[in-house]
């Protein structure tokens, strides 16, 4: 239930910043300092030469993507329940994601692995920032919705770990140390209704995209 007991953790507010290229050393901090702009990649010797990747990074990344895919629909359903009416009964109308920004994800199983990894990085960096905004809004609007807040925190934690692993793979295998990522509209100054609506729009789109991401990424993470 929305009011189930559980702990919460503070999240930093996510605000939009001007376009810019993010050096590799800052990639792991993108959930705290998002940027907006067109994707821009670079290759250089700036990648760390050791100590970046865990030995089981591929298997860990596979598990993280599978976990996010397996829990996305439940998170969306719980979110709707905790927002009350009219979201519970009119989700098709209110939560349609057609009008919101989401990073383009035009890759498939035949796409080159490097392109898949870059697209995945931009997708999950966007999702991580969006989850931070949604969690901040829910801590304000539904502070007693402990189960929802816990699930949001756990999803954010998994996403951050996935970003870390994708960063490792991009640098280790492709020497990519800078990526420009795009983010959507901040909900900070919106009304309570608009905050709830933006949250449900993002989470509905998340359910759709994470399923596609899992189908595309998991074959590229096979050990062979």
Which domains are present in the chain? Answer: 56-221 (1.20.1250.10)
Task: Give percent helix, percent strand, percent coil of the chain, each to the nearest 5.
Answer: 55, 5, 40
Q: According to the model, what pLDDT value does residue 50 have?
A: 56
Contact 168, 60 (CB under 8 A): no
CA 110 to each of CA 113, 122, 123, 217: distance values in angstroms, whole numbers, following the listed order: 8, 19, 18, 11
Give me the mean pLDDT over the 46-54 stretch: 66
Torsion, CA 186, CA 191, CA 196, CA 197, rounded to 10? -80
Q: According to the model, what pLDDT value does residue 45 have?
A: 53
Give me the mean pLDDT over the 73-90 stretch: 96
**Residue from 152, 165, 161, 157 nearest 206 by CA:** 152
The whole-model pTM stands at 0.80
Please enumerate in sequence order all residues whose Cβ is within 8 A of that of 174, keeping only pairs 6 or more positions apart, or say none.
43, 114, 117
Going by pLDDT thresholds of 50, 70 and 90, the confidence category of residue 8 is very low
The C-alpha atoms of residue 133 and residue 59 are separated, in whole angstroms, by 29
Length of the chain measured in residues? 224
DSSP 190: S
Going by pLDDT thresholds of 50, 70 and 90, the confidence category of residue 54 is confident
Least confident of 43-57, 99-113, 185-199: 43-57
Phi, psi for 41 (deg, rounded to 5):
-110, 155
Res. 43: pLDDT tops 70: no
Q: Which helix (H) or strand (E) holds 149?
A: helix 146-174
Q: According to the model, what pLDDT value does residue 105 have?
A: 85
Going by pLDDT thresholds of 50, 70 and 90, the confidence category of residue 1 is low
Q: According to the model, what pLDDT value does residue 210 have?
A: 94
Q: According to the model, what pLDDT value does residue 194 have?
A: 96
């Amino acid at each position: 239930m929305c009011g189930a007991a559980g702990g919460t953790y503070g999240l930093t507010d996510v605000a939009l910043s001007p376009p810019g290229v993010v050096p590799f050393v800052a990639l792991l901090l993108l959930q705290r300092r998002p940027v907006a702009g067109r994707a821009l990649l670079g290759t250089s010797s700036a990648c760390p030469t050791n100590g970046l990747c865990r030995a089981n990074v591929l298997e860990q990344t596979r598990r993280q993507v599978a976990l996010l895919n397996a829990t996305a629909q439940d998170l969306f359903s719980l979110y709707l329940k905790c927002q009350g009416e009219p979201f519970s009964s009119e989700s098709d109308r209110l939560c349609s994601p057609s009008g919101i920004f989401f990073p383009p994800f035009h890759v498939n199983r035949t796409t080159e692995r490097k392109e898949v990894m870059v697209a995945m990085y931009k997708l999950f960096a966007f999702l991580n920032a969006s989850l931070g905004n949604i969690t901040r809004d829910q801590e304000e609007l539904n502070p007693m919705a402990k189960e929802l807040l816990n699930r949001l925190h756990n999803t954010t934690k998994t996403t951050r770990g996935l970003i870390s692993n994708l960063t490792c793979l991009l640098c280790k295998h492709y020497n990519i140390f800078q990526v420009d990522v795009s983010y959507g509209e901040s909900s900070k100054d919106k009304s309570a209704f608009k905050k709830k609506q933006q949250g449900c729009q993002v989470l509905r789109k998340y359910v759709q995209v994470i399923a596609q991401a899992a189908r595309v990424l998991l074959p590229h993470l096979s050990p062979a």
